[in-house]
Amino acid sequence: MKYLVILAFFIAVNGQNFLQETPASSESLCESICAFSCKLYSSPSGLALDGCPGLCICEPYCVDNGARYTDGQLFSKGCNSCRCSNGKILCNDRACKPGRCQHNGELVENGASFKVDCNNCTCRNGVPICTTQFCAKSDTCRYNSQIYQEGEQFNMDCNSCICRSGHLQCTDLICPKKCVHNGTSYSEGEKFKIDCNTCSCNNGLSVCTLKACPPQPSKTCVVNGTVHKNGEVYKVECNTCWCSGGIQACTKMACKSKRDCKVNDVVHMDGDVYKIDCNTCWCKNGIQSCTKMACNPAGTCEYNGTMYNNGDSYKADCNSCICMNGISQCTEMMCPPPKPEITGACLQGALCPSPTSVILDGITVCCRLANQRLSIERVRETKDYTCRCSGPL
């Protein structure tokens, strides 16, 4: 049975809206209603419309933070990946680092922008804020700048992938590590040559013979300032290297980290050079090595070549010092500069306080004693100078 239905439409003429009525059959009405949000199927399940020959079945969708996602569509929520499944949002439950978002398995820093399908997104405090444009569903997949069509298969290392509804579905096998030498990749167990040596790839490490190859002229290797001849085999940390035609090739073993030295609760870094008593020490990979010089007895002090025991007092210029547990502790007075030493014969012709000595004024040196050889001496106690007779002329 058919029904005559009047469909009403607004028509704009010269900026004004006019209502127009158009007769329609029940089938066209059903199609119009279904086309609004659903698809018309001949299916035993779905939403039935009275008078419609088929069933109106709506495709399920999901809404999150105002964004609408079609059934099966993947999207990110914080650092977690989510999927719209039959109208429900299913997400993994990883603890996210505050401030960062995750998109396509990669972390996006706070404030950074990225695209989700045709929408622009910005990471804000761990939450992606995106525009809500409706994107046309794509059946192609992209990986490493390569476009793959729906259903197309390809290999990713040892895993197989297929493009399904715009998303890659891959196996999750743990692939053996590869070796790389001079930009060439080698698979596990594969053999290759480096000069005259044969190498094989073993769990990502190049294991090679160590034969000395015939030297090539004027092709040396310089490592940390050291020149190695062509064909020379040498060590760099825990790895064995050889110079081949001016190019250094080395094994790639993981070396133990360098260790520091701890002496009397003091930590010295690897390579440090330092003093312990009178000896020089250095730290190398956690082991301390020192010179073995005989040091002064503990608690003694040395000043101007003289040894003082613990508690001894002595003079250092105008300052007083005391030896305390091997350390000289002195006053810090500013001493006057010493008077200049005067050499040569004493000048005669001036009156002197005594026949054998005179206090000098720093300018004139005078002393008078008949028929005697005169010399100048400094008196330590008074820091003055004297003239004295040193014998007959």
Which amino acid is it at 377? E
Assigned domain for 279 exists: yes
pLDDT at residue 97, as a whole number: 63
In total, the chain counts a number of residues equal to 393
pLDDT at residue 98, as a whole number: 64
Examine the domain organization and report whether 93 and 47 are in the same domain: no
Q: What is the pLDDT of residues 215-261, one digit of tens each?
A: 655 578 888 778 888 888 998 878 889 888 788 888 888 776 667 88
User: 374: exposed, middle or buried (C-beta count within 10 Å: 0-12, 13-18, 19+)?
Assistant: buried
Rounded Cα distance, 377 and 361, in Å: 14
Specify whether the CB–CB gap between 353 and 339 falls below 8 A. no
Specify whether the CB–CB gap between 365 and 384 falls below 8 A. no
Specify whether the CB–CB gap between 199 and 192 falls below 8 A. yes
Assigned domain for 307 exists: yes
Assigned domain for 136 exists: no
Assigned domain for 256 exists: no
- Host domain of residue 148: 141-170
Assigned domain for 296 exists: no
Which amino acid is it at 60? P
pLDDT at residue 388, as a whole number: 54
Assigned domain for 150 exists: yes
Number of domains in the chain: 7
Which amino acid is it at 107? L
Examine the domain organization and report whether 184 and 245 are in the same domain: yes
pLDDT at residue 321, as a whole number: 93
Examine the domain organization and report whether 126 and 66 are in the same domain: yes
pLDDT at residue 54, as a whole number: 52
Rounded Cα distance, 369 and 359, in Å: 15
Other C-beta atoms within 10 Å of 251: how many? 16
pLDDT at residue 340, as a whole number: 44
Examine the domain organization and report whether 345 and 382 are in the same domain: yes
Of 2, 48, 45, whose CA–CA distance to 25 is shortest? 2
Rounded Cα distance, 196 and 191, in Å: 13
Examine the domain organization and report whether 31 and 86 are in the same domain: no
Q: Is 28 helix (H, G, I), strand (E, B) or coil?
A: helix
Cα distance between the two ends of the chain:
163
Rounded Cα distance, 393 and 391, in Å: 7
Of 202, 200, 208, 207, whose CA–CA distance to 176 is shortest? 202
pLDDT at residue 344, as a whole number: 38
Task: Give the predicted TM-score (pTM) of the model.
Answer: 0.21
Other C-beta atoms within 10 Å of 249: how many? 19
pLDDT at residue 66, as a whole number: 78
Examine the domain organization and report whether 184 and 242 are in the same domain: yes
pLDDT truncated to tens, each residue of the chain (393 aa)?
A: 333 333 333 333 334 433 334 444 444 544 554 544 444 444 444 444 444 555 555 667 788 887 888 888 888 776 678 889 888 888 887 776 667 787 776 778 888 888 887 788 988 887 888 988 877 666 788 888 788 888 899 888 788 899 888 788 888 887 877 888 887 888 888 898 888 888 988 888 888 888 888 765 557 888 877 888 888 899 887 888 988 878 888 888 877 666 788 888 888 888 888 888 778 898 888 888 898 887 777 778 888 888 888 889 998 888 999 998 878 889 988 887 765 444 334 444 444 444 444 544 443 444 544 445 555 555 445 444 455 555 554
Of 108, 56, 61, whose CA–CA distance to 83 is shortest? 61
Q: Which of 39, 57, 75 is the last residue of a domain?
A: 57
Assigned domain for 265 exists: yes
